[in-house]
Amino acid sequence: MHAAAALRRDGYHGGLTILDAQPHHPYDRPPLSKELLTGRFGPDDIGLRSAEGLDVVWKLGRPVHGVVRDGSGPGGRGGRLVAGDEEIVFDGLVIATGADARKLPGTDHLADVGVLRTLDDAVALRDAIDSGISTLLVVGAGFIGLEVAASARQRGVEVVVVESLGQPLGRILGDDVGAFVARAHRAHGVDLRLETGVSSLVAAASGGVEAQLSDGSVIHADRVVVGIGVRPATDWLAGAGLVLDDGVVCDETLSAAPGVVAAGDVARWPSRRAGRLMRVEHWDHAIASGEAAARRLLAGPDAEIFDPVPWFWSDQHDMKIQLVGFAGPDLDSEVVSGSFEEDRVAVAYGRGGVLVGMLGINRPRHVALMREQVTSGVSFADGVAAARAL
């Protein structure tokens, strides 16, 4: 949708069709695991106003099953999309199919086991909470799992979170930050079990689900939410002649083939900042890459290189976690404000002597004011000094 809005804004007046497997008009995704679950927002509150008034043909609830690139359009571009019994001819194609939540094998038949990826997923979980469930089991302590846990605790639900790693978010932000986050969740009553997996899930005779954990314990949960990551939605592109490797592989301008661009969770492109192929699953990236993909279609090979500084946030209990740039256990890191013993901390991350990221937990000022420093690539030492001076 952001690509479509950018095409119109930048002067494209031709035909524009948006196909989506979901039956809903575009909506804001970050509230799904937060405000929508807590009841602060309803489904009507999260529709994207930027989708209103677009001169487009909407084809909702229409999954695309295949694409044929036949070069029938200008400059050898173009082809046909296959959606059910309909074929849709295109000259330019924006692939923005996102990613699908991974599921635990053998659980499709369990009505009380689900994921949280779409509006329908969130509404189903909210309805279950509204109905008075007492225990929620969350499998996976990533951002979605932790946000769901925090929202459910706010509604008074008993929450058990199981995570196979030693710390939540440790692989993404480092173990020190992970331990900080773990303490905060436990302080709010979350039963967080680390280095623990799920051996089996079966329907309980009394309703709900009986979970056998890897440590030998058994939990009865009224509802289970699985948050163990996603996989890019690329199956429909088999045979399209594109490079598919953990997403649609693009060049530095998000071009995947002549007349074909990708954006959002499904796009994988070479980032000069990261020094590797990147695939980013954050909402801010979906907006920025959609707009960049649209510019690539209009400008052709002369389009600007797409290499933004990633930015995201996560609200959990009374924590606001924000990151600009990159973080991780393999980077240099230094606390520049607060401490891990307090409820507020800011951490600078460096690679090769260069400042590459700034993390703030309840430190929004540091993240906001250091964004330009991270973008410009100042030295790690200068970045640390600047952050400490705030």
Measured distance CA(355)–CA(378) in Å, rounded: 6
Mean pLDDT of 156-164: 98
Q: What is the pLDDT of residues 342-389, one digit of tens each?
A: 889 999 999 999 999 999 999 999 999 999 999 999 999 999 999 999
Query: Is residue 286 a part of any domain in this protein?
Result: yes
Instruction: Give CA–CA dist 155/113, Å, rounded.
Output: 19
Whether residue 119 is found in the same domain as residue 199: yes
Tokens of 92: 């330019």
Q: Look at residue 42 and tell me if it is in a domain.
A: no
d(CA 308, CA 262): 15
DSSP label of 261: E
Residue 52 lies in a domain: no
d(CA 351, CA 302): 31
Q: At 114, phi and psi to the nearest 5? A: -150, -175
Residue 280 DSSP symbol:
-
**Of the candidates 270, 302, 334, which is a domain's last residue?**
302
Can you tell me the distance from the alpha carbon of 246 to that of 279, in angstroms, rounded to the nearest whole number?
8
Please calculate the CA angle 360-267-80 and round it to the nearest 5 degrees.
Answer: 150
CA distance 227 to 258: 36
pLDDT-derived band at 249, boundaries 50, 70, 90: very high
**Domain CATH for 337:** 3.30.390.30
Q: Which residue has the tokens 């932790």?
A: 146
Residue 43 belongs to a domain: no
Instruction: State how far the Cα of 58 lies from the Cα of 44, in Å rounded to an integer.
Output: 18
Mean pLDDT, residues 221-243 taken together: 97
pLDDT at 172 over 80: yes
Same domain, 298 and 324: no
222 shares its domain with 243: no
Instruction: Say yes or no: 277 and 298 in one domain.
Output: yes
Confidence label for 18 from pLDDT (cuts 50, 70 and 90): very high
Q: Which residues pair with 348 in a beta bridge?
A: 334, 358
Residue 31, domain member (yes or no): no
End residue of a domain, out of 190, 213, 228: 228
pTM of the model: 0.95
Q: Give phi and psi for 291, each to the nearest 5.
A: -65, -40
In a domain, 112, yes or no: yes
Q: Where are the alpha helices (DSSP H) in 29-174?
A: 35-38, 119-130, 143-154, 170-173
**How would residue 147 be classed by pLDDT, with cut points 50, 70 and 90?**
very high
Contact 360, 378 (CB under 8 A): no
Better-predicted residue by pLDDT, 78 or 117: 117
- What's the number of domains the chain is made of? 3
| Residue 258, in any domain of the structure | yes
CATH number at residue 218: 3.50.50.60
Task: Map residue 339 onto helix, strand or coil.
Answer: coil
The DSSP letter of residue 373 is H
**Single residue among 197, 228, 259 that ends a domain in this structure:** 228
Same domain, 222 and 237: no
Co-location of 164 and 145 in the same domain:
yes
Q: Which residue range forms the structural domain that includes residue 135?
A: 103-228
Does 291 share its domain with 324?
Answer: no
Residue 66 belongs to a domain: yes
Q: How confident is the model at residue 38 (pLDDT cuts 50, 70, 90)?
A: very high
Are 216 and 249 found together in one domain? no
Please check whether residues 165 and 244 belong to one and the same domain: no
